[in-house]
Structure formats: C-alpha cells, structure tokens
Amino acid sequence: MKLLQILIDGFAISSLYGLGAIGFTLIFGVSGVLNLSHGSIMVTAAIAAWVIAGDLGLGPYGGAAGGVAMAVALSLLTYMLVVRPIQTSSRIAREEKEIFVLTGTLLWGIMIQEAIAYLFTSNPKTVRPLIPGVIEILGVRTPMQEILTAVISWVVIGLLWLLVNRTKAGKVLLAASINPRGLTLLGFELPQIYFWVWALYGLLAGIAGLLLGAFLGVSSDNVGQLTASAFSIVVLGGLGSVTGSLIGAYVVGYLETITAYSGGPSIRTIPVLLLLVLVVYIRPQGLLGRR
Amino acid sequence: MKSSLRLMLAASVGVGLTLPAIAADPIKIGVIAEVSSISGAAIPNAAKLAADEINAAGGVNGRMIEIVEYDDHNSAADAVRAFQRAASQDHVHAVIASYVSEVVLALEPWSGRLKMPMITPGAASDVISHRVHEDYAANKYTFHGYMASTFLSDSVCDGVKAIAGPLKLKNAVVMSEDAAWTIPLDAEYLKCLPKIGINVMDHIRLSPDTTDFTPIYNKIEGLKPDVIITGISHVGVQPTVQWHDQQVPIAMIGISSQATSSTFYKDTNGAAEGVIYQTISAPDVGVTPKTLPFVKAYEKRYNITPAYCGYTTYDEVYFIADAIKRAGGTDPDKIVDELEKTSYVGTIGKVEFYGRDSEFTHAIKVSPEYIGGMLVQWQGGKQVTVWPNDIANAKIKFPGYIKTGTN
C-alpha cells in the first residue's frame, strides 16, 4: 500500500520536476544562460493564476491561461531587460559575461520574489484545481489534480519533443545549441532565435508553476528552493541534456518521495543533496552531460 | 527642557517662512512585524487604526500617538536592528513586536538593555514571561500580550472536552510545526489531552519548510485517529489545502493562526471549510462591546478581518496610551509600573498581567473572567464561533469527506 502510494506520488512530483527543469536546461543548451530567476517565474505563474481566477473572477481556466501568459511575458522581459543587455554590452569582458548573467538573473529573481511578497504577501497560495475531487487507484486515494499534473507534464514534454525533432523550428533550436556560429553563417538571426527560446521557456516554466500551485501550493518563499531544485536536476542529468534532465527529475522526485515516506518530510531533500555531491565528485558532467 | 529646545529650534527654522503649527511632541510607538505575512500585517494595521482613533479623540494629554513601522522580514537579526533604531534613532517610547516567538525572544534582552517597554501581541512561547519571572530586574520591560503556549493548549483541551462527546472523539494525533512556541504547546497537549479522556496515538512535529504534506497525512490516516490536534502558525495554507484536496477524512482542531484572518479562505480557495481553530476573539462574536466595532472598522479600512494579533495589537496601543497617561510622561520605568497595573477591557476581554509571583510574569491573565479561549469554525466561507456554548453562533459542521462524529 505504502509502496503504491510512493509510486503514484513520486511519479506526479517527478513529472512536474521534469517539466520545470526541461525549460531550464533548454535555455542553457541553446543560449548558454543559467537563469537563476527560474523559481520566481514559476511562482509568478501560479500567483497570477490565483489572482486572475479568484480576484478577477475568471475561474480556473481563465486563471490558468492568464498565469501561463504572465510567465511567458516575464520570461521575455527577463531576456530583454536582464540577459540581452549583458550579452550585447561592450563594457563587460566576454569571459565575465556568464557571471554577470548569473548575478543579473539571480537579483532579478529576488526583485520579483520581493514584489510578489509585497503585493500578495509571502503566504502560500493555491491555484484552483482544474479538476477537483479524488479517485481510488488500487485503494490509494489520489487527488484528480495529481493525476492531471502527471498527464499535462507528459503531454507538454511530448509536444516539446515533437517540436524539437519533427519541425524546422526545432532543428534551428538544436543547431543553435550545437553550433550557433554556423547558424549565423547560414543567415539566421541568433537574437531572434533566443527570443523564441525564451518564450518557449516561459511557457514551460509557467505550466510547471501552475501545476505546482494547484498540486501543493506555492509562496514567494519557495522561489530559491524551486531554482535550486531545477539546478540540481539539471546538474544531475547533465547540463544542456533534455533527456538527462528528465532522468534526473525522476531520480530526484523518487528519492525525495521515498525519503519523505520512510524518514519523514523534514529530511526530504537531504539524500538528493548527498547524491549531488557524489555526482560532482565522480561524474561532474552529470548522467548524460556532453560538456 | 528637551521639548522647549525643540520648540525654539522649530521656531527659528520657521523664521521667514510660514510659522509651523507647533504641537506637543508625539508619543511614538514602534511596531516591528513581518508585514508580508497574514498575521504580521495585522499588527501595524491594527496599531494605526487604534492610533488614529486615539488621535481623533484628542490624543493623550494633547500629545498625538505616532506609529513608527518596521518590517523585520521574519528575521530576528532584522528585528533587533529595527529595535535598536527605534530606541536610539527614532526615539520611540514603547514597542509592539512580532507574532513570532523566536523574534520576540531575540528582542527581549534588548528591551532590558535599552530600557524600552515592549509587548508582543502574538508570540506564544512560555519562555518570554518565564524570563521576566527569573530575572525581573533585567527583563521587566517585556510584556506578553497574548496567551502563552501552555494556556493555548489548555484552551484547546477545554474546547475539545466540550465537543468530544457529540463528535465521538477518543483518539488524537498531535501535529505541530517545529518552532519555539510549539515546544511548551506540545508538552501541554500531551498532558491535557489524556486528562480529558483523549488518547494521543502519535505526536508529529513537522518542519515549517514542508511543502508536500501527503506523507504526513498518510501516516496519520494509517493510525485511524478521530481528530488531528494542530499547532500551526508559520504553515497553514498548504497543509489545509492538501488535507482538503486529498480528502483526509479526519477533523483538524487546534491552533491554526493563519486561519484567524478572512484571507485564509481565499488563499486556500475554500479548503479551510470545516477547520476548527482556537482563538481569543472572532469576527462574529462580541466578546466585549469593543470587539465588533473594531472588526467593522478594520474590515472597512483593510477589506479583510483582522488576524488574531490584530485584536491584541489594537488593545495594546490603547492600554499603552493609558499607561503613559497615568505615568504622566514617557519615563520607561514609570511606564512599566503603570503597565503592570493595567486593567483594561479591550476587544479580547479584560487585560491584566500576572505579577512577579507567577512564573508567567507579565503575561496576560487567562481565565473566563479575563481572557478566555474559544473555538471558531470555517463554515460556508465564514468564521463562526462554535464554543463556548453560551456565545456560540452555530453548531459544528464538517464537509462530507470528514468521518469524525459520524462513525
């Protein structure tokens, strides 16, 4: 019984982690940016959905659409306001740009976090579930929203796979991650590609944030933890590898769930952190890393 | 002397411009709280409301009350810095501080060092008043304006005892967050629950960082208790929403600080339905003739009902003002002497403080005659009082998935 519960809960949370981390790794793969405002974009989506569904009275679906739209807008804003000016600045040395982007996105994330706390308090909010109610799976009472979380996560991940592998736009994305210079020689505008990658990233982070908000609830206090968890998953799976991130998400998700059920939720993240230390020692490039 | 100097200074600055209207120095009350939380925000909100009312009525001996606000971001270090600034730079005359025991315990020594009268409207740890008892000379400037944890547990037990029969409550699991205020709370729960005939099957202390409560509910459900006795304040929305979404079939009764404000229903999308919490004042019951007018004024100004520490803060501004009036000035030792003599009927009942002979020195007296506890339940989006019976407005009613009282 407990095993089945762990299997179900672990699957839902891992799928959600996967969706959250996949956008994070995509941005890194394509444009070399580690976006440390990741958590704040996820939380923004959830809080916006909560406000739009409740205060503005547009219901769960209106809230969901508005939340994801907010995440996309915020993601593009992050790119144009923070990342792009650093990348194009001639006053920042090339080798220092990565650290500037890291710092810039980190501070940007904190600004968003503080703004959310100021406007909507740091108290957690929960997004209205799209499908309320529970269902029994072999005797385990499972909220419909938990099942929906896993299903939507995998549908979105599947669509992303189709986009990358089956469309011209996807091939351009792949090319940008492998050889951006070659791509510019073929006449593609890199800034334009980056713009679309950030929009795509916003969409993924937004959906992940929304699902998390409906499944467990989020507050502005979760921002750092969400960024750290995406970061851990991506390091574990191998920076820039989408498949690696998915595997990493399942390793982290199940390890956490097993720990929470056997040792207690207060030590939930400890084994994952120990595993990360091990990975950094033994296989610094991560499970499927290519750099 | 000081004020006449200021007067001269103000007058000389005003020469050549319009002469400023010169009033007596204001009485400054510093308010330190985490304003981005439900409970924390109620502290400055209620303080400003009280100050405006006092000022509209002419102030204290012609002196206006000025509230000086500080946000401590729920950090003891920030709170200490704010406290130091309040005393040495902003020259406040008293401080109302925080609903977080850890923060108040960090401020307590500073209250003594800087001889700054301080009262907490919402922290609960017994240690706050025990320290005053143990070293009165050093800590006498601190007052505990809310029920100490032990009294909170006793109040919950009294309520549970009254409702246990009809709801058939026999077995309980105690679920509290890991924090300073719940250490004495849990210790007393474990003592008082068996005394009222409730068997405690397990005692769970959860980390305030917990986001997924499924494993905890899973464990509790496995034990098949009739009720979960809660001690939560830093967490609230997430355990409540997950309790509801997972349809955990066990009632939750106890301390749930966030549930005291009306925003809780909105934040949980209504998952709060059925939650029963202990408090000392509720928006539907006039504990005293002052309670409901305060709730009405607060709602009008802030669009939400006050969290529990809003009621206490509101009263505190009033009785601090009274103490200063009786003291005839702002000398801290005289203010402390007068605060000790406080006998003030506010929104929460009659406020008096335990004396030096009690181990709860400077904590508010708890008994039906002074401040008594009550149980309030979220029903149909409203907070309704369900115990004590003489003031109850409704009978206890649970959502369909709760099995309590039906088996």
Dump the DSSP string for B14-32. Answer: HTTSPPPPP-PPPEEEEEE
How many structural domains compose chain B?
Answer: 2
Partners of residue B258 in chain A, C-beta under 8 Å: 123
For range A239-251, the mean pLDDT: 90
Say if A141 is an interface residue toward chain B (CB within 8 Å).
yes
Q: Do B263 and A265 touch (CB under 8 A)?
A: no
| In the predicted structure, residue A81 carries a pLDDT above the cut 90 | yes
Q: Give the max Cα distance, chain B.
A: 83
User: What pLDDT was estimated at residue A41?
Assistant: 97
Do B316 and B375 share a domain, yes or no?
Answer: no
User: What pLDDT was estimated at residue B407?
Assistant: 43
**E-assigned strand segments in B128-266:** 142-144, 171-177, 199-206, 227-232, 251-256
User: What pLDDT was estimated at residue B59?
Assistant: 93
User: Is residue A192 in some structural domain?
Assistant: yes
| In the predicted structure, residue B281 carries a pLDDT above the cut 90 | no
User: What pLDDT was estimated at residue B12?
Assistant: 46
User: Is residue B364 in some structural domain?
Assistant: no
Partners of residue B242 in chain A, C-beta under 8 Å: 216-217
Partners of residue A118 in chain B, C-beta under 8 Å: 36
User: Is residue A235 in some structural domain?
Assistant: no
Q: Do B37 and A220 touch (CB under 8 A)?
A: no
Of B331, B347, B363, the residue that ends a domain is B347
Report the phi/psi class of residue B59: left, alpha or beta, with left for phi > 0 and alpha for psi in -120 to 50: left
User: Is residue A77 in some structural domain?
Assistant: yes
User: What pLDDT was estimated at residue A31?
Assistant: 84
Partners of residue A265 in chain B, C-beta under 8 Å: 206-207, 210, 212-213, 215-216
| Cβ count within 10 A of residue A224 | 16
Closest CA to A27 of A212, A173, A220: A173
| In the predicted structure, residue B10 carries a pLDDT above the cut 90 | no
CB burial of B44-80 (b: ≥16 within 10 Å; e: otherwise) equals bbbbbbbbbbbbeeebbeebbbbbbbbbbbbbbebbb
User: Is residue A98 in some structural domain?
Assistant: yes
For range A262-280, the mean pLDDT: 89
User: What pLDDT was estimated at residue A175?
Assistant: 84
Q: Do B267 and A123 touch (CB under 8 A)?
A: yes
Secondary structure element (H or E) that encloses residue B384, with its range: strand B382-387
DSSP secondary-structure letter at B348?
A: S
User: Is residue A13 in some structural domain?
Assistant: no
Q: Give the max Cα distance, chain A.
A: 63
User: What pLDDT was estimated at residue B19?
Assistant: 42
Say if A224 is an interface residue toward chain B (CB within 8 Å).
no
| In the predicted structure, residue B18 carries a pLDDT above the cut 50 | no
Do B112 and B64 share a domain, yes or no?
Answer: yes
- Taking only residues 238 to 257 of chain A, the set having a beta carbon closer than 8 angstroms to any beta carbon of chain B reads 257
Do B299 and B186 share a domain, yes or no?
Answer: no
The residue of chain B nearest to residue A116, with distances taken between CA atoms, is B36
**What value, to the nearest 5°, has the Cα angle with vertex B386 and ends B381 and B392?**
110
For range A7-15, the mean pLDDT: 93
pLDDT grade for A147, boundaries at 50, 70 and 90: very high
For range B1-10, the mean pLDDT: 48
Do B67 and B195 share a domain, yes or no?
Answer: no
User: What pLDDT was estimated at residue B404?
Assistant: 73
Q: Do B218 and A126 touch (CB under 8 A)?
A: no
Full residue range of the structural domain in which residue A130 is found: 22-221
The residue of chain B nearest to residue A47, with distances taken between CA atoms, is B267
User: Is residue B294 in some structural domain?
Assistant: yes
| In the predicted structure, residue A290 carries a pLDDT above the cut 70 | no
Interface confidence, given as ipTM, is 0.84
d(CA A45, CA A208): 9
Of A121, A128, A143, the CB nearest to B41: A121
Locate tokens 């209250």: which residue?
A: B111
Do B259 and B294 share a domain, yes or no?
Answer: no
What CATH number should be reported for the domain holding residue B62? 3.40.50.2300
Do B101 and B118 share a domain, yes or no?
Answer: yes
User: What pLDDT was estimated at residue B16?
Assistant: 41
Q: Do A118 and B36 touch (CB under 8 A)?
A: yes
For range B266-293, the mean pLDDT: 92
Helix (H, G, I), strand (E, B) or coil at B202: strand
**Mean pLDDT of chain A, nearest integer:** 90
Of A127, A134, A266, the CB nearest to B207: A266
Instruction: Give CA A219 to chain center in angstroms.
Output: 16
d(CA B353, CA B142): 11
pLDDT grade for B6, boundaries at 50, 70 and 90: low
User: What pLDDT was estimated at residue A253?
Assistant: 94
Do B126 and B172 share a domain, yes or no?
Answer: no
DSSP secondary-structure letter at A280?
A: H
Q: Tell me the pLDDT tens digit for each residue of B181-211.
A: 999 999 999 999 999 999 999 999 999 888 8
* Alpha-carbon distance A123 to nearest alpha carbon in chain B (angstroms): 6
User: Is residue B392 in some structural domain?
Assistant: no
User: Is residue A30 in some structural domain?
Assistant: yes
Q: Do A216 and B258 touch (CB under 8 A)?
A: no
Q: Tell me the pLDDT tens digit for each residue of B338-392.
A: 999 999 999 999 999 999 999 999 999 999 899 989 999 999 999 999 999 988 9
Burial class (CB in 10 A: 0-12, 13-18, 19+), B315: buried
d(CA B186, CA B3): 50
Residue A275's Cβ-side half-sphere holds a number of Cα atoms within 13 Å equal to 22
Full residue range of the structural domain in which residue B273 is found: 150-283+371-387
User: Is residue B220 in some structural domain?
Assistant: yes
pLDDT grade for B23, boundaries at 50, 70 and 90: low
User: Is residue A65 in some structural domain?
Assistant: yes
| In the predicted structure, residue B14 carries a pLDDT above the cut 50 | no
Residue A245 near residue A21 (C-beta atoms within 8 A): yes
Lowest mean pLDDT among A81-90, A117-126, B323-332: A117-126
For range B91-118, the mean pLDDT: 97
User: Is residue A32 in some structural domain?
Assistant: yes
| In the predicted structure, residue B164 carries a pLDDT above the cut 50 | yes
Closest CA to A35 of A230, A225, A170: A230
For range B80-101, the mean pLDDT: 96
User: What pLDDT was estimated at residue B9?
Assistant: 47
Could you tell me what percent of chain B has a pLDDT over 70?
94
How many structural domains compose chain A?
Answer: 1
